[in-house]
Amino acid sequence: MEGIHILANLYECKNESILLDENLLEKEIKRLIEKSGLGIVGKCFYKFKNAGVTGIFLISESHVSVHTWPEKNNSINLDIFTCNVSGNNENKAKSLFEDLKKLFSPTKIKSKVVKR
């Protein structure tokens, strides 16, 4: 199935509080996924003791995952994959990525887009 896979590392994120707060992180990512027009079908988040949060949203188009590393220079690993079963979701994935970058406010970004 064709789709787009955005893989990114975000460094020195200025919005530090969200990296530690499981509930806030989940709420804000959910809001942005819904804004993008992608469909949420499930989720799972876990807060590590004295560290960051890992979480995933299962979306009808595939998934969005995030791993925060406040203890590692306020970094984030981000993964957005959308397939194109019912239409081309590439712009939705790219829009979500732009909104997530604004949310986290990193000073440095390494990203790769893979067409699958």
The count of structural domains within the chain is 1
> In the prediction, which pLDDT does 85 show?
77
Tell me which residue range forms the domain holding 39: 3-115
User: 26 versus 84: which is more confidently predicted?
Assistant: 26
Per-residue confidence band for 20, with pLDDT thresholds at 50, 70 and 90: very high
Confirm if 76 and 13 have CB atoms less than 8 A apart: yes
Residue 10's closest CA among 100, 114, 80, 113? 100
Whole-angstrom Cα distance, residue 52 to residue 64?
Answer: 17
Residue 38 in this model has a pLDDT that exceeds 90: yes
pLDDT in tens, 86-109: 788 999 999 999 999 999 999 999
What are 64-81's pLDDT values in tens digits? Answer: 999 999 999 999 999 999
Q: Mind telling me the catalytic residues?
A: 62, 67, 83
pTM above 0.85, yes or no: yes
CATH number of domain containing 87: 3.60.90.10
